[in-house]
């Protein structure tokens, strides 16, 4: 079982750290608003991942994979939210002289909410988790095994994202961001817009 758990954890690392909305949002918040906001955003992403893990274990992912009105609606809401985030980033490129300030309670809540919604509105997350879990689940495993896999997904992802936020606080990385924040925000906005358009385009194949 230990070998299987290590293999599963490796698959999850590749999936969680592949470029996507969660990583883009988390990177931008960590660079622009500091470690505290980044940690709360990472916690929000992890909470969203809890829901996706539960859905994957329960088999609900098959519903999204099969298509239908629910799948279409989720993709539309996800695309709209990504475009909203892109619009906020685009607006920030027009602001001059932005400086980081101490993270307030409201900013922490905003970071948490942004991370949670970004993850929970990603229809690919639950499908990916269901597909990744499938090879590691069989009749030979005890009944608690799927829940252990789910716990690995959430806890491993949360800890790795916290480490990523911490790494982004290094002075050299912050100095680069301070000099290029308008360009970086514009780049993030374009990437999020592209992901939103990709989601809309995928509706045609449902």
Residue 162 pLDDT > 90: yes
Strands (E), the chain: none
Give the pLDDT score at 143. 80
Q: How confident is the model at residue 85 (pLDDT cuts 50, 70, 90)?
A: confident
Tell me the per-residue pLDDT of 64-83, one tens digit each, with 9 for 90 and over. Answer: 555 677 667 767 876 887 78
Average pLDDT over residues 124-132: 74
Average pLDDT over residues 106-134: 82
Please tell me the predicted confidence (pLDDT) of residue 161: 93
Name the nearest CA neighbour of 100 among 152, 29, 161, 43.
29
Is residue 42 predicted with pLDDT exceeding 90? Answer: yes
Examine the pLDDT at 100 and tell me if it is beyond 80. Answer: no
Pair 156, 13: CB distance under 8 Å: yes
Return the exposure string of 95-115: e unless at least 16 CB atoms fall within 10 Å of the residue's CB, then b: eeeeeeeebeeebbebbbebb
**Of 125, 121, 115, nearest in space to 61 by CA:** 125
Cα(176)–Cα(3) distance, rounded to whole angstroms? 41
**For range 132-161, the mean pLDDT:** 83
């Amino acid at each position: 079982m230990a070998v299987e758990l290590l293999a599963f954890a490796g698959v999850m690392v590749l999936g969680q750290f592949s470029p996507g909305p969660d990583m883009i949002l988390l990177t931008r918040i960590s660079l622009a608003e500091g470690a505290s906001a980044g940690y709360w955003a990472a916690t929000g992403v992890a909470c969203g991942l809890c829901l996706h893990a539960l859905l994957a274990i329960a088999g609900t992912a098959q519903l999204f994979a099969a298509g239908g009105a629910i799948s279409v609606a989720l993709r539309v809401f996800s695309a709209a939210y990504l475009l909203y985030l892109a619009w906020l980033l685009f607006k920030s490129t027009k602001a001059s002289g932005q400086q980081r300030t101490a993270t307030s309670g409201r900013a922490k809540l905003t970071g948490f909410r942004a991370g949670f919604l970004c993850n929970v509105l990603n229809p690919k997350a639950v499908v990916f988790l269901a597909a990744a879990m499938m090879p590691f689940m069989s009749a030979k495993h005890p009944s608690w095994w799927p829940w252990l896999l789910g716990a690995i997904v959430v806890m491993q992802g949360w800890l790795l994202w916290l480490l990523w936020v911490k790494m982004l606080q290094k002075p050299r990385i912050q100095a680069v961001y301070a000099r290029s924040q308008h360009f970086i925000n514009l780049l993030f906005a374009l990437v999020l817009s592209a992901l939103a358009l990709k989601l809309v385009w995928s509706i045609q194949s449902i």
